[in-house]
Structure 1
Amino acid sequence: MSVLQNVGDIQETRNYDIFKLVKGNREINRSHVNRLKEKISRRDLKEIPITCGSADANGVYPIFDGQHRFMAKKELGKPIRFIVTKNMRADDISELNTDTSNWNQKNFLKKWVDKGLSDYIYFKIFIEEYGLDNKFSVAITLLNNSFRRERTQEEVFVNGLFKVVDKEESENTIRFINRVLTEIDSSKCKNSFFYYAILHVINHPGFDRNHFIRKVEKLSAKFKGATNSQEWVDIMDKVYNKHNQGIKKFKPIRFRDFKTNS
């Protein structure tokens, strides 16, 4: 028969000042806090403690797991139950949450920005300035000067190894894309399928961005109804290559298939 061991004591307090949030952890999600407050008000499962690291020199415990539960209980004036772990580090939080799919790319961006990594700081500025706040995979692709989504790039981003390849080229590309979006009904186009499609077509040798802008201005109504990247490529193909009579030295381009790139 196995022997049970006491590996940690649960403590309880209403002194909320002895806790602090950990820099590099996820941002507090107010919607999540509010949902927890509703649940706790209906039924408070006091037995579920938050996990903290050892107290610092000022007697303050860093919250490693359970920051949303802490905020909800604090706002409700409920006591906080917690356990102290001596072997966990702040960096372990994201690794544990990755395994349970609780962290997303936005959480990892905050983590690496908080650690002062310059490429991530620039990434944050880039997505805010160019309207890519909810399109992390697109921004990662752009800042890698790539024209296709690659999962390995996103894994590199999560692991803190992301590097911006060429700021000027990335900024020129997103400015061009946003210029196109100003000419069309962006509410029907501003999705990842559209972004990857336009990255695909502008990567073709001989693609004339100025010609495409002029054609988009005349044929903006064509940009609708697509439900995937290939359909967007087909629309861009027609806009770019059709009705070019009278344009001197125009050279049509056969756009490659989006999936096979052939």
Structure 2
Amino acid sequence: MKTITTKVLKTSDYTQFKKILGNRKVDLNHVKRLKESISEEDLMIPIVVNEKNEVIDGQHRLQARQELQLPVYYIVVDGLGITQTQKANMTNKTWTLDDFLNTYVEMNYHHYKVYKQFKDRWQLSNSECIALLSGKLYNGNGDSQKDFQKGTFGVKDLEWANDVAMKIYQIEPYYSGFKRRSFIFAFIHALSTEGFEFDKFIQKLTYQSSKMVNCTSKSQYMRLIEDIYNYNQPQEKRIRFN
């Protein structure tokens, strides 16, 4: 059972507080906004810490007050940890997928460390990285993103994901929008289509690159890829995307 010290305590010893392992990085812009708000009117809102003085809720308020050289008000709740920190922060300033990534990497979660290496290497957005590494490509990756937030995300086939990412970058000389989300998902669909030959597509792209224009949806990109690939193809070797 959690023990709560309902009394609001006060201190100017900022060094007594600790960052809890796995908490997201401090957003300096958010700290700046808090400093401006506190300077205008100090509501003296307490931070929440556990019995180890690890900050559960209020790390941005703590830094803002420290930079303003103001005393910190705090409440102690025994037994709280990173799960409660995430919940508290999600009700205040929404956690991004990068926040969750940094949390689980710091906590030494293997799949998240692999994910970060992949993301840093290929410089793709989280949406594409999650899809490629989870292998969930066509039915939306909402469930995968929820798994990612909960810490249960798993890498399915790193070798395949790296191969697809490498092929995506081979499009760059012919299309500056090669990292657009809709294009990437259309391209992955093409690679997974029976009869589609990547080398043949690249060869045809060398003299049809002017056809590669920005589209607003995956389906439009699929029609574009189809049109480029089927140019001068015998009827029996043409592809059609479902």
Question: Does residue 1:120 correspond to 2:122, yes or no?
Answer: no
Distance 1:202 1:101 in 2: 39
Q: How does 1:1-262 map to 2 (within 5 A)?
A: 8-46=6-44, 48-55=45-52, 61-98=53-90, 102-132=94-124, 135-148=125-138, 149-186=140-177, 189-244=178-233, 251-256=237-242
Change (3 A) 1:78 1:250: farther
Tell whether the 8 Å contact from 1:37 to 1:73 is kept in structure 2 after alignment. Answer: yes
Q: Secondary structure at the match of 1:81?
A: strand
Tell whether the 8 Å contact from 1:33 to 1:72 is kept in structure 2 after alignment. Answer: yes
Report Cα offsets for 1:110-148 as digits up to 9, x if no partner. 22112211111010010011012xx21211110123432
Tell whether the 8 Å contact from 2:136 to 2:144 is kept in structure 1 after alignment. Answer: no
Tell whether the 8 Å contact from 2:56 to 2:88 is kept in structure 1 after alignment. Answer: no
Tell whether the 8 Å contact from 1:145 to 1:166 is kept in structure 2 after alignment. Answer: yes
Q: Secondary structure at the match of 1:215?
A: helix
Distance 2:24 2:136 in 1: 28
Change (3 A) 1:150 1:178: same
Change (3 A) 1:158 1:174: same
After the TM superposition, list the runs of 4 or more consecutive aligned residues in structure 1 that deviate by more than 3 angstroms: 95-101
Distance 1:81 1:251 in 2: 72
Letter in structure 2 aligned against 1:178: Y
Change (3 A) 1:73 1:218: farther
Percent identity, please. Answer: 29
TM-score scaled to structure 2, two decimals?
A: 0.89
Tell whether the 8 Å contact from 1:237 to 1:255 is kept in structure 2 after alignment. Answer: yes
Aligned to 1:260: none
RMSD: 2.2
Q: In the comparison of the two structures, how many residue pairs are matched?
A: 238
TM-score scaled to structure 1, two decimals?
A: 0.83
Tell me the CA shift for residue 196 of structure 1.
1.3
Change (3 A) 1:216 1:250: farther
Distance 2:141 2:193 in 1: 18
Tell whether the 8 Å contact from 1:145 to 1:169 is kept in structure 2 after alignment. Answer: no
Unpaired segments ≥5 residues, structure 2: none
Tell whether the 8 Å contact from 2:50 to 2:76 is kept in structure 1 after alignment. Answer: yes
Tell me the CA shift for residue 10 of structure 1.
1.0
Change (3 A) 1:101 1:237: farther
Tell me the CA shift for residue 15 of structure 1.
1.2
Change (3 A) 1:34 1:104: same
Tell me the CA shift for residue 225 of structure 1.
3.3
Tell whether the 8 Å contact from 1:50 to 1:70 is kept in structure 2 after alignment. Answer: yes
Report Cα offsets for 1:129-179 as digits up to 9, x if no partner. 1012xx212111101234323322222222222221111111001110111
